[in-house]
Amino acid sequence: MSLIADYLLLSAGKAGEKSAKTRLGHVVRYVNTKNPAMTAAQADEKFATAFRKWLGAEKITGGSRGGEERLRALSSIEGALMQLAAAINATPGQKAGFTVVQQKEVSASPQYRADVPTIAAMFNYCLRPDDKSVRHWRNPDEINANLVARRVEERANLLRYLRAAVATWARPDALYDLRKRQWHSASGVLDLNPPNRRQTRKHRPKVPVARQFAPHLDDMGDVWLPVASIRAAWDRMATTIGLPEHGEAGEKLIRRSMATIARGRIGEAQWQQGKMMLGHVRADISDIYAIRDTANLGLALAATESIIEEVESLAPGAFYREFTAAAGTLTVAA
């Protein structure tokens, strides 16, 4: 269907472009296999049923964490049909002839949450490698200092991701988009939505920044993460420290875990602040300097800072090298 190519062309540069290409790529593969001359009008319920069966039978590789084969998730299949329906409905005079199952009916939400020691283990993986990859092959008990330095350098971007994820509770895509101009140092507030980016259903809020993370933002270049993805590094870390598999511990784990840990510290009566921090509720704060106030997001900020302090005690250097409370001096980690 040529309308898919037209739809992707019009979607270039918009939020969700990458996921749209991936989802519609499944549809294009199916159509080219079954009926390359297919029209939008033929995308009916019969087509949708056959597509679900075809894509559901296709085995995929689980990635770098073992490479095991598995069947595609129902949410992924329905997501492809949802994207096709959007493409058809965006074409003048066309309307999708099939019904999409809502994501909440087919999504299996991960149940695992990392505790503070586990989050600290992630930082230690980056800061002080001690796994078999840094040991002499002739003498497994001897650590190679040169290899340790190399692993620390290789894991630098994963470390940057962890710092930002813990401090902001943000979704992974927001962290990949993070730029210097989003940081309002004077007010201590980070706007997770870049300038000129239209807000979507997954709202990106303005969040107060923990005192331990602020110096890193002050010192950052134009881009926080100089890579398109830390997925491979994340998967290697997950395998090394023993995080659960089968979709339970992806990059979004930090966001879910921070929310769970902080909720107990903020309290149910004030959990609205947690929802605002996550972007689940849109804050009605006109003054950016008021965001850190206790009445707005101050309690969420305090919870974040307390969690960071506990992580730092278990993984020195996670956020800074040296902090003297009495003098109020702070030296950030490299």
In tens, the pLDDT along 100-153 reads: 887 666 566 788 999 999 999 999 999 988 766 666 656 666 667 778 888 899
Predicted confidence at residue 153, as pLDDT, reads 93
Q: CA-CA distance, 25 to 20, in Å (whole number)?
A: 8
**Would the pLDDT of 201 be above 70?**
yes
Q: CA-CA distance, 321 to 220, in Å (whole number)?
A: 17
Whether residue 117 contacts residue 241, with contact meaning beta carbons closer than 8 Å, is answered with no
pLDDT, average across residues 171-199: 95
115 versus 12: the higher-pLDDT residue is 115
Band of residue 9 on the pLDDT scale cut at 50, 70, 90: confident
Comparing 65-69, 234-238, 289-293, the range with the smallest average pLDDT is 65-69
Band of residue 83 on the pLDDT scale cut at 50, 70, 90: very high
**Would the pLDDT of 298 be above 90?**
yes
| Backbone phi, psi, residue 239, to 5° | -65, -45
Band of residue 328 on the pLDDT scale cut at 50, 70, 90: very low
Predicted confidence at residue 325, as pLDDT, reads 40
Band of residue 283 on the pLDDT scale cut at 50, 70, 90: confident
pLDDT, average across residues 261-290: 94
Among all chains, which residue has been given the structure tokens 């309290």?
A: 267
**Would the pLDDT of 10 be above 60?**
yes
Give the 3-state secondary structure of residue 226. Answer: coil
Structure tokens at 59: 């085995």
11 versus 219: the higher-pLDDT residue is 219
Torsion angle (degrees, nearest 10) of CA 219, 224, 226, 228: 180
Band of residue 183 on the pLDDT scale cut at 50, 70, 90: very high
Q: CA-CA distance, 52 to 319, in Å (whole number)?
A: 46
Predicted confidence at residue 105, as pLDDT, reads 65
The percent of residues above 70 in pLDDT, for the chain, comes to 87
**Would the pLDDT of 290 be above 60?**
yes
Predicted confidence at residue 308, as pLDDT, reads 97
Query: Amino acid identity, residue 212?
Result: Q
Comparing 9-18, 253-262, 312-321, the range with the smallest average pLDDT is 9-18
When the pLDDT of each residue in the chain is averaged and rounded to a whole number, the result is 87
Residue pLDDT, tens place only, 28-74:
999 999 999 899 889 999 999 999 999 999 888 755 445 567 778 88
**Would the pLDDT of 323 be above 50?**
no
Structure tokens at 37: 């001359």
